[in-house]
Chain A
Amino acid sequence: MKAIITVLGKDKVGIIAKTCVYLADKDVNVLEISQTIVEGYFNMIMIVDITNTTCELSELACGLEKLGEEIGVIIKFQREEIFESMHRI
């Protein structure tokens, strides 16, 4: 089972590090990262594997949202199915 995590906000030190530490702690494996910085704004999309996480998914989504608030960026968690259903027949 996969999910997509998007991170958006003003660039600063440790965004990826803190996000990844949080994910590792929840047994979420990072599969792919695409990251750009446009005019000081950090924009990242991660594709992650959530098969082995012991965490409830809605809890994971809330935790990431809270982490985003602490760092000062917007972090959004979405299960992959929403993208699959929209873009694949």
Chain B
Amino acid sequence: MITISEARQTTAMIEEENLDVRTITMGINILDCADPDEKRFCEKIYDKITTKAKNLVKVGEDISREFGVPVVNKRISITPVAIAAAACKTSNYVQIAKTLDNAAKEVGVNFIGGFSALVHKGMTGADRMLIDSVPEALSVTERVCSSINLASTRSGINMDAVAKIGEIIRETAFLTRDRDSLGCAKLVVFCNAVEDNPFMAGAFHGVGETDCAINVGISGPGVIKRALESVYEEDFETLCETIKRTAFKITRVGQLVAKEAASRLGVPFGIIDLSLAPTPAVGDSVAEIFQMMGLEHAGAPGTTAALAMLNDNVKKGGIMASSYVGGLSGAFIPVSEDHGMIEAVEAGALTLEKLEAMTCVCSVGLDMIAIPGDTSPDTISGIIADEMAIGMINNKTTAVRLIPVYGKKVGETVTFGGLLGYAPIMPVNQFSCEDFIRRGGRIPAPVHSFKN
């Protein structure tokens, strides 16, 4: 029997420390919807998505009520559109994006991911068409998220695609200029993208997956921070043990919700993603955990070590609590979505270069970073190439989600609202990489021996 003090501890985590389940994401395979006729294809994907995910939101809300733990987001990921729609005879994929947006609205999910292409080694005609469609697709839809895999450890970096995506990001920023370039917040590029990621904007349903699966993303930076308050004076051993123990408890809640959701929806349980996902709310921040570890601000010397330790111990605690772990599984360090990160940037403690260093030890890369609107496409591609190289060499997932906010300069702030938060515009290194990016071709796959 549960003791009263255990019941109180759980209630406090939910009520005071923002413990929630960040997302229940239903992965849906749409390969069986393939059709040369675009209109027919759109009808088929709309029908499949709205049938499979018909009860997703209701089940999420019921579980939330019965267990008394918020399930913040209900979302859908689908097979990368560039693969599923490859047979369509059409000149762009904007209509498909609109169909996805309508399907998302019909079932009531706040995002649908999978307007994606995997081009780490080369681009098919469909991949090219999808990438060309991204700016318009993201400007005319509300809930569609796009991701492009540009590199992998096994195949290297597709520098042609990296060069192209710099321009695509700028164009997306321009087309959504009336919304502070919000379109770019729904576009992420990857190295070593994972096939079962429940988190947006990078979620898609990989081709190695089952027809439909439930993947769950946990949360809980606030719970970890509160737990660390009580061991502020203690050594690293105690610090790590506390993180592990807390991560275990958080993950068990995610596992419970995932199993329950899967069984009620009649869909297999896929994975739990062990990422600590912050929100802009005070007390729900990864940067605050660093402060609780003893750093004045995120970005201070020691931050990379602190993040490595946090990330590793969240995994150690979480892996035991779940039967299947997957997705990105690493502490997220988005800037605009974490009020402690925003404060660190405003205080001058955190720079783009330090963030890049931090991504060497955790998922998921340079995330939700607002940069000046006049940053050149080549510079954006250069930043992406650096991040792809970190992922490729270290055999890990890295990502970039930059927002060159149209018409804004360093010193100004941009507000996206909701979970996407707000961010100060960060300065970017002004030296040129144009000739490097313009070379074209691929950076070959790295050697996996002689690790140094």
Bound Cα distance A34, B9 (Å): 15
| Pairwise interchain contact B66-A4, C-beta atoms closer than 8 A | no
Cβ-neighbour of A58 out of B7, B8, B65, B249 (below 8 A):
B65
Given known A78-B66, A78-B67, A82-B68, contact A87–B1 (CB-CB < 8 A)? no
Bound Cα distance A21, B6 (Å): 26
Interface centre among A62, A79, A86 (most CB of B within 10 A): A86
Tell me whether B252 is interfacial, beta carbon within 8 Å: yes
Tell me whether A54 is interfacial, beta carbon within 8 Å: no
Given known A4-B2, A6-B11, A76-B11, contact A85–B66 (CB-CB < 8 A)? no
Cβ-neighbour of B10 out of A47, A62, A86 (below 8 A):
A86
Interface residues of B in 246-263 (CB under 8 A from A): 249, 252-253, 255-256
Tell me whether B4 is interfacial, beta carbon within 8 Å: yes
Chain B residues near A86 (CB-CB < 8 A): 6, 10, 249, 252-253
Chain A residues near B256 (CB-CB < 8 A): 81-82, 85
Tell me whether A23 is interfacial, beta carbon within 8 Å: no
Cβ-neighbour of A85 out of B4, B61, B255 (below 8 A):
B255
Chain B residues near A83 (CB-CB < 8 A): 2, 6-7, 10
Interface residues on A, range: 20 to 34
Interface residues of A in 40-89 (CB under 8 A from B): 45, 47, 57-58, 61-62, 76-87
Tell me whether B241 is interfacial, beta carbon within 8 Å: no
Closest to A59 in B: B65
| Pairwise interchain contact B252-A85, C-beta atoms closer than 8 A | yes
| Pairwise interchain contact A76-B68, C-beta atoms closer than 8 A | yes
Q: How far is the CB of A86 from chain B (nearest CB, A)?
A: 5
| Pairwise interchain contact B11-A87, C-beta atoms closer than 8 A | no
| Pairwise interchain contact B66-A87, C-beta atoms closer than 8 A | no
Tell me whether B69 is interfacial, beta carbon within 8 Å: yes
| Pairwise interchain contact A58-B66, C-beta atoms closer than 8 A | yes
Binary per-residue interface labels of chain B (65-80) against chain A in the complex, 1 for a CB within 8 Å, 0 otherwise: 1111100000000000
Closest to A65 in B: B65
Chain B residues near A45 (CB-CB < 8 A): 4, 7-8
Tell me whether B62 is interfacial, beta carbon within 8 Å: yes
Chain B residues near A78 (CB-CB < 8 A): 10-11, 66-69
Chain A residues near B66 (CB-CB < 8 A): 57-58, 61, 77-79
Q: How far is the CB of A23 from chain B (nearest CB, A)?
A: 16
Interface residues of chain B: helix, strand, loop or mixed (majority)? helix
Cβ-neighbour of B67 out of A62, A82, A87 (below 8 A):
A82
| Pairwise interchain contact A87-B2, C-beta atoms closer than 8 A | yes
Interface centre among B1, B67, B255 (most CB of A within 10 A): B67
Closest to A6 in B: B11
| Pairwise interchain contact B67-A79, C-beta atoms closer than 8 A | yes
Interface residues of B in 100-157 (CB under 8 A from A): none
Bound Cα distance A34, B3 (Å): 10
Closest to B67 in A: A82
Closest to B260 in A: A81
Binary per-residue interface labels of chain B (38-76) against chain A in the complex, 1 for a CB within 8 Å, 0 otherwise: 000000000000000000000001100111110000000
Bound Cα distance A87, B10 (Å): 9
Q: How far is the CB of B71 from chain A (nearest CB, A)?
A: 12
Chain B residues near A84 (CB-CB < 8 A): 2
| Pairwise interchain contact A58-B62, C-beta atoms closer than 8 A | yes
Chain A residues near B2 (CB-CB < 8 A): 4, 47, 80, 83-84, 87
Bound Cα distance A45, B2 (Å): 11
Closest to A81 in B: B256
Bound Cα distance A46, B212 (Å): 39
Chain A residues near B69 (CB-CB < 8 A): 78, 82
Chain A residues near B7 (CB-CB < 8 A): 4, 6, 45, 47, 83
| Pairwise interchain contact B252-A62, C-beta atoms closer than 8 A | no
Chain B residues near A76 (CB-CB < 8 A): 11, 68
Interface centre among B11, B66, B69, B252 (most CB of A within 10 A): B66
Bound Cα distance A58, B71 (Å): 14
Q: List 13 A-B contacts (CB under 8 A).
A: A6-B11, A45-B8, A47-B1, A58-B62, A58-B66, A61-B68, A79-B67, A79-B68, A80-B2, A81-B67, A82-B253, A84-B2, A85-B253
Q: Which residues of B contact A (CB under 8 A)?
A: 1-2, 4, 6-11, 61-62, 65-69, 249, 252-253, 255-256
Q: Which residues of A contact B (CB under 8 A)?
A: 4, 6, 32, 34, 45, 47, 57-58, 61-62, 76-87
- Having A4-B2, A87-B6, one finds 8 other A-B pairs with CB under 8 Å, namely A77-B66, A78-B67, A78-B68, A79-B68, A82-B256, A84-B2, A85-B252, A86-B249
